[in-house]
């Protein structure tokens, strides 16, 4: 019988073999503890479910193994010599197929690969899933990277998609082609498939590129939300709970209206400004499993307030359920981020290339505010814009914020 990394809970994908409680040759009875397995829930004593003798141990203490990885061969009553010989061969093959654990840059980018020892038959880690398709046809081994051998098109695609060729080069033997790059990008951006580390890598690449390439300007202005919020409260009071509208939808709707009047901020920079007629704002949404995703609200410019609210709920549901469509993943023309729920006052974002603007909202705060000659306590939100200075000037950004303010003072027009 091959003793495999047990599944100690439905959500367990792997466990650390903390300590063998047996050695080769030990006789075990059903219920004996064979090893201590460390999971996210703590150290669990793993029992054996049949009587037998420990024939061979291959799993190493202190190493993390995916569920189902062969760890040892135990001879039970049912096993004849032939079975045991086969099992030993299988277990040794699996152990021999273990990729040598390398300390190095690959693991700083893919933290999970540090923990997950790879075996030939084992389920793959996030990094391996991403690179697996390529590695299968090329070479499994992580290699030293000297000069990167990538085709010109691969370099171009990598630049466009924000993929780090150096990381890819460690996994691909021979030349990197555009297909390799696109495969990685597809895996990275596939909803639900990307684990936080892969997502972190994608975000890291895009943001590094953004900061390196885009000269940003930042502007912010406080907007009095008091009347907008009280209008919204009155509106919601008349509605059933499921038809109620969140302030976030109102703000998105206002941003879209303002963008209609300042279209230079909606679109791309591709060796020159390329404004987009359609407005598909990317809405920053936190994922339950970590990481942030900014799916596009497609055709927001054609929506009224109710439709915007429905679209927002739909986006949140889809993001959290990992069911975004490919257009929602790729067609953002501008980004809106709202970090208000975390209590920050102002957001100064980093533009997602090749977009040319990012609009941020902080927390709606009660503030002393001059109304006429008096001081009043008003609900105020800090709206900000990060603009690509190649595409527009601060004046355009200022104009946008002024429009946004004006629109939010007349919320009924947003219906």
Contact set with other proteins (CB under 8 A): 151-156, 174-179
- Give min distance, CB of 327 to other proteins, in A: 22
**Structure-block tokens of residue 190:** 């596939």
Q: What whole-number distance in Å separates Cα of residue 54 and Cα of residue 366?
A: 69
Q: Which is nearer to other proteins, 154 or 336 (CB)?
A: 154
- Give min distance, CB of 186 to other proteins, in A: 16
Q: What whole-number distance in Å separates Cα of residue 92 and Cα of residue 100?
A: 15
Q: Are 57 and 24 in contact (CB under 8 A)?
A: yes
Q: Which is nearer to other proteins, 166 or 179 (CB)?
A: 179
Q: What whole-number distance in Å separates Cα of residue 353 and Cα of residue 332?
A: 10
Q: Write the DSSP string, 137-152.
A: HS-SS----SS--B-H
Q: Which is nearer to other proteins, 158 or 259 (CB)?
A: 158
- Give min distance, CB of 173 to other proteins, in A: 12
Q: Give φ, ψ of 175 to 5 degrees.
A: -80, 145
Q: What whole-number distance in Å separates Cα of residue 321 and Cα of residue 285?
A: 12
- Give min distance, CB of 364 to other proteins, in A: 47
Q: Which is nearer to other proteins, 155 or 363 (CB)?
A: 155
CB atoms within 10 A of CB 44: 18
Q: Which is nearer to other proteins, 153 or 274 (CB)?
A: 153
Q: What whole-number distance in Å separates Cα of residue 202 and Cα of residue 188?
A: 7
- Give min distance, CB of 130 to other proteins, in A: 19
Q: Which is nearer to other proteins, 151 or 310 (CB)?
A: 151
- Give min distance, CB of 129 to other proteins, in A: 22
Closest to 119 in 3D by CA, of 98, 146, 133: 98
State the Cα torsion 366-372-374-380 to the nearest 10°: 10
CB atoms within 10 A of CB 411: 20
Q: Which is nearer to other proteins, 76 or 151 (CB)?
A: 151
Place of tokens 């809970």: 9
Place of tokens 């150290």: 43
Pairing of β 334-338 and β 281-283: parallel
- Give min distance, CB of 272 to other proteins, in A: 17
Q: What's the Cα-to-Cα distance from 86 to each of 49, 93, 312, rounded to whole Å?
A: 21, 10, 56
Q: Which is nearer to other proteins, 130 or 154 (CB)?
A: 154
- Give min distance, CB of 134 to other proteins, in A: 12
Q: Which is nearer to other proteins, 176 or 401 (CB)?
A: 176
- Give min distance, CB of 177 to other proteins, in A: 4
CA neighbours closer than 13 Å in the CB half-sphere of residue 133: 12
């Amino acid at each position: 019988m091959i003793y495999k990394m047990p599944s100690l809970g439905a959500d367990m994908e792997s466990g650390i073999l903390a300590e063998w409680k047996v050695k080769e040759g030990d006789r075990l009875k059903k219920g004996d503890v064979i090893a201590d397995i460390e999971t996210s829930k703590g150290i669990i004593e793993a029992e054996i479910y049949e009587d037998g003798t420990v024939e061979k141990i291959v799993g190493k203490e202190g190493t993390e193994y995916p569920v189902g990885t062969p760890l040892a061969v135990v001879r039970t009553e049912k096993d004849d010599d032939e079975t045991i010989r086969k099992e030993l061969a299988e277990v040794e093959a699996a152990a021999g197929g273990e990729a040598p654990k390398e300390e190095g840059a690959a693991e700083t980018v893919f933290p999970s690969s540090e923990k997950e020892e790879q075996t030939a038959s084992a389920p793959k880690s996030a990094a391996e899933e991403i690179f697996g398709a390529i590695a299968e046809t090329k070479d499994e081994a992580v290699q030293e990277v000297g000069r990167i051998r990538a085709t010109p098109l691969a370099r171009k695609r990598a630049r466009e998609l924000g993929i780090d060729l150096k990381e890819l080069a460690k996994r691909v033997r021979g030349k990197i082609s555009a297909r390799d790059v696109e495969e990685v990008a597809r895996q990275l951006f596939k909803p639900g498939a990307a684990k936080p580390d892969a997502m972190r890598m994608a975000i890291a690449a895009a943001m590094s590129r953004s900061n390196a390439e885009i000269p940003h300007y930042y502007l912010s202005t406080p907007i009095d939300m008091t009347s907008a919020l009280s209008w919204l409260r009155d509106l919601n009071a008349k509605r059933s709970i499921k038809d109620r509208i969140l302030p976030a939808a109102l703000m998105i709707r206002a941003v879209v209206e303002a963008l209609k009047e300042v279209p230079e901020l909606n679109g791309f920079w591709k060796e020159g400004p390329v404004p987009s007629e359609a407005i598909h704002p990317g809405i920053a949404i936190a994922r339950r499993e970590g990481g942030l995703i900014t799916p596009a609200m497609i055709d927001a410019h054609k929506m009224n307030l109710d439709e915007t609210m429905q679209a927002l709920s739909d986006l949140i549901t889809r993001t959290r359920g990992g069911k975004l469509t490919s257009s929602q993943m790729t067609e953002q023309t501008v980004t809106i981020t709202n970090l208000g729920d975390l209590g920050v006052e102002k957001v100064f974002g980093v533009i997602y290339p090749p977009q040319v603007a990012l609009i941020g909202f902080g927390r709606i705060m009660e503030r002393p505010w001059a109304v006429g000659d008096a001081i009043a306590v008003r609900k105020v939100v800090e709206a900000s814009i990060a603009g690509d200075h190649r595409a527009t000037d601060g004046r355009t950004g200022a104009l946008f914020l002024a429009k946004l303010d004006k629109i939010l003072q007349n919320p009924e027009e947003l219906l």
